[in-house]
Chains A and B, each alone.
Chain A
Amino acid sequence: MVQKIATREAYGEALVELGRECKDVVVLDADLSKSTKTASFAKIFPERFYNMGIAEANMMGTAAGLAAAGKIPFVSTFAVFATGRAFDQIRNSIAYPHLNVKICASHAGVTVGEDGGSHQSIEDISLMRSLPGMTVIVPADGPETKQAVRAAAELEGPVYIRLGRSGVPVLFDAEYEFVVGKAATLRQGEDVALLAGGIMVAEALEAARTLAEKGIRAQVINVSTIKPLDTEAVVAAARKTGAVVTCEEHSIIGGLGGAVAETLAEQCPVPLERVGVRDQFGQSGKPSELLAEYGLTAQHIVAAAERVLARKGKRA
């Protein structure tokens, strides 16, 4: 049985470690600290934890003020509230003055599950990616989350880290090194490139194994930094394979798929398929049911890979 850990759990642990090392780290939450896992930080460092109540706009603005006074605020709530409800506060009070605020939002994507479409953020990456100077990170598993949180603390400026509710397989061991802005090839292959982020990295790896059984060699790349995008790695993969599939638990508009499409259209046009939520809202259901319903499984990636390979064939 593969070990599973939710990225939000890893975030909670990373915050405590950071809190011990750096007294300037402060944490803000909007009445969801048990869910976002900032509660463990709150318990150990109560004087550096601010529960701001159910008031996300003020929470973002307060974080901006703390950052302006030299603190390193980590701000958490659900992704849908952080990026949607408080977008203007993130834009004008945090990103515009390039303040050192780390927005670590949990419960992203459809795997929120039973709470339904009102709570399932499928446009947060798109929103955050549109802001100048915002770094956008979507960790694939627990260990990568821990490294990403640390990297965010060391980086000067606003960072958005997207975290999930459900457990995801642990993919990386101690050898793995996360670097902001660098995509990591997890599996080599020449026929098609699967560019994945977040929980879809595990699905892409499974898809690659299925494709291998069919004689198709798929390269799998973990694109954990959506912005700044590792365009060099994206273009190199497109050149090598001539066929690209993006995989994300997010709308196909504006997220990883959008970012890759923009890059390839300008620098290396090749057939592209985007696996993601197809311009619709989510609904209640079990996470596994929702992933199947919205086309976010290894099987869907395999099918997309076969479609893109067929198109590559037609071009040749």
Chain B
Amino acid sequence: MDLEADTRAFLEEKAQAIRRDIVRMVSTAASGHPGGSLSAVEIITSLYFKVMRLDPACPDWAERERFVLSKGHAAPALYAALAERGYFAVDKLVTLRQLGSPLQGHPDMMRLPGVEMSTGSLGQGLSAACGMALAAKLDKADWRVYVLLGDGETQEGQIWEAAMAAAHYRLDNLTAYLDYNRLQIDGPIRDVMNPEPVADKWKAFGWNVLSVDGHSFKEILAATEEAQLDKDRPTMIICHTVKGKGVSFMENEADWHGKAPNAEDTERALAELA
């Protein structure tokens, strides 16, 4: 797939806006997870601005496509995408993590229209996505389900229960993305609990497995299209990403998994993202 230059420019502009939103939100909240939010930006931007059939004015539209953020701590990236896509005003983003805000620390579908599933306790989003995909199949509906998993998250056993079930029920309307940024709170995932060989595991579970540069719109979109054409099995797109992507001093630093930037760091980060 050859991504047209203006489409790529549009997506890159959105991604940059979302990155700035993430930094501002987490900085204002003085808590949150910038590292894993920044690594997921191109994936989430692709879905909300190119791939998914949505109507921000009608978040409950029955024929909409669904996105489940299984790695719920990347909520700032999801909220920024929803706001930039028009679900709510961008200036509400800075209420992240404040008392009474619909922008809870982790996504809460009861409080924020557009959030398809409440997540945060890791390992649960893929199961919910499978349930949605089963419902679409039962209704013979053509909407698809997209789910984003963290790499560390796949250490949870429930992920593999769901992986088995998705293949068993031939959920070809389900596309999963792995935000493979290789870091979790306590350090490199290969030191904490090595998930490799990642691609072989998903293949062994019966999935169609693709591998892309998780910051390349061209590659993400091409793989997403390939997944849509694959029949009788779910697809896992392993997205090789950089934790903290776009902010030099956050990149590849496990420390920025769940730490908010101070005023000075925020200024530096926003200057880099200008």
Contacts and interface: CB of A to CB of B under 8 A. Distances in A.
Say whether A associates with B: yes
Interface of A: 26, 47-48, 50, 52-53, 55, 57-71, 73, 88-89, 91-93, 96-98
B218 to A, nearest CB: 31
Given A47-B138, A50-B169, A68 B157 contact: no
Residue among A26, A53, A64, A69 with max Cβ neighbours from chain B (10 Å): A69
A282 B269 CA distance: 59
B210 interface: no
B270 interface: no
Interface of B: 62, 66, 68, 108-110, 116-121, 123-136, 138, 157-158, 161-162, 164-165, 168-169
B165 A58 contact: yes
A97 B108 contact: yes
Given A53-B164, A69-B132, A89-B158, A62 B127 contact: yes
Contact of A69 (B119, B131, B158, B161): B131
B128 A68 contact: yes
B127 A92 contact: no
Contacts of A69: 66, 131-132, 135-136
Contact of A57 (B66, B110, B131, B158): B158
Given A50-B134, A53-B164, A66-B135, A61 B118 contact: no
**A interface SS class:** helix
Contact of A97 (B66, B117, B158, B162): B117
B29 to A, nearest CB: 21
Given A61-B158, A65-B133, A97-B108, 8 more contacts: A58-B158, A61-B125, A62-B128, A66-B134, A69-B132, A69-B135, A69-B136, A92-B118
B110 A92 contact: no
Contacts of A89: 124, 127, 158
Contact of A65 (B120, B130, B157, B161): B130
Contact of B131 (A67, A88, A91): A67
Contacts of A26: 138
A60 B127 contact: yes
5 contacts: A52-B165, A55-B165, A63-B131, A64-B127, A71-B135
A55 B116 CA distance: 23
Residue among A57, A58, A66 with max Cβ neighbours from chain B (10 Å): A58
Nearest to B106: A92
A93 B110 contact: no
Given A53-B164, A55-B161, A61-B162, A93 B117 contact: yes
